[in-house]
Structure 1
Amino acid sequence: MKRIGILTILLLTITISYGQVQWIKNYDVARAQAMAENKFIVMDFWAIWCGPCKKMDVDMWNTTEMTAYADKFIFLKIDVDSNRDIAMKYSANTIPKVVIMDASGQEIWEEIGFASASMYLKVFEDFPSELAPTEQIAKLIQKNADANTYFSLGAWYQESSKNTESVSLKKDILNLSDSYFKQAAKESKTDALATEAEFNVILNHAYRGAYKKAMKKVDKMEEAEMKNFIMAYCYKCEGQTQKMREFMDKITSKELLAQLD
């Protein structure tokens, strides 16, 4: 009986430990692991003297609710006192501060302070499960990204935003998409890619719900499939079916039309 009791306790310990958040304390190690496992990084800035940080540990990081995300992200804890350079890089002047970034170190989302776990857990739930294409991330890390690399990343984040319910997260993902599309336009050696990138920046306005702004901007662009698609999409979202159909009739791309169904 004594032996069975010990085995039971051991198994219980293993079960409790399995799936819990495992923290990495080294910035470079976390990035390398994120690249190897194709995951995003959740970086928690803290300090031993920080009361809200301790509350965050108890009320969020060490709860059973967090076990659902233990395998979704790489978790990195950064002590701001012993990692001042990293704290400065991510403007961690106020803590706790949580940043979600990719393996290149590119920040995607951030939140400062801790009142409750609910908002954080919603973001963790909504966040894309997989990293942007590793080939493109590798080019960012190696600093040899070209216009096509930036465009691909912009398109990937744009697509990822569609399945995001969190308003703040959706905005941040689309902002990052914008930055990549703008970089693609800047680096592009062809007018065609630059123009396509510009159209996609405008489309991101529409995906944010800024339909009037998107239509005003795209109206200044030359006639193109994307121009008609953006107009049709905006009118669809505004419930103006007749006007949507007028622009749909000008679209020949089956892929674009499918997105309006």
Structure 2
Amino acid sequence: MSRAPLVLKVALLAGLGAFLVAPDAFAPLFRPFAPGDSPPIYAQTPLLRLAVNHIVLVAAATLAAGLLAVGFAIAATRPAGRDLLPFARAVANLGQTFPPVAVLALAVPVVGFGTVPTLIALVLYGLLPIFETALTGLGGLDPALLEAARGMGLTGRQRLVQVELPLALPMILSGIRVSAVIGLATATLGSTVAASTLGEVIVSGLLTGNTAYVLQGGLTVAAMAILVDAGFLALQRKATRRAGFRS
């Protein structure tokens, strides 16, 4: 990684942290976008709390989606699990078939308002990219490597843990990266069902005509998405080097 992009990402992280900790210091920047005497900085709920809630919700959903998707991919690439592939793919495609808003509308009558319906929508929406990359990573391994592992006397579980998953990890991480970035944007919709996310700031700005609020919520989510994407790219490069591939 060249020094210039790294410096920009560190500056972005520092700027985001400063804004979330002391948003009032940035009031002059947002004042031109606040109508009349409206406050330029959203203060109904601390922005830092909303950002933490937002990232924790997305992290939980990405973890759950990752466990489910990788589990499905592992099962579908075992000799005994070939028949599971159509079912696993149908489940992974489910979230892409129904828009997040539709999932929220269906989940609210069952589980109520708040974080849970948003979590369900994010998990369903995040399954497909992780499942497809995990399937590609595990299904595209060199058969000679797997045969060599068998020749060393490794059991099926040992081959999976010591050989297959480490080699497929770069592909799996690429899917998790896509899922996490999508989840950061999609989680803003959770505020429509009373989940505590940065969508609260955006919705408030739309309802009151305060563009400053919309910018605060949107720019914060965008900055977090850039940083999360960069973090997963770094992990992916490290996993690629450890797997013995050229980064």
Shorter chain as denominator, the TM-score bin is under 0.3
Q: Which has the higher contact order (CA 8 A, sep 6+)?
A: 2
Would you tell me which structure has more strand in proportion to its own residues?
Answer: 1
TM-score w.r.t. the length of structure 1 is 0.26
Would you tell me which structure has more helix in proportion to its own residues?
Answer: 2
TM-score w.r.t. the length of structure 2 is 0.27
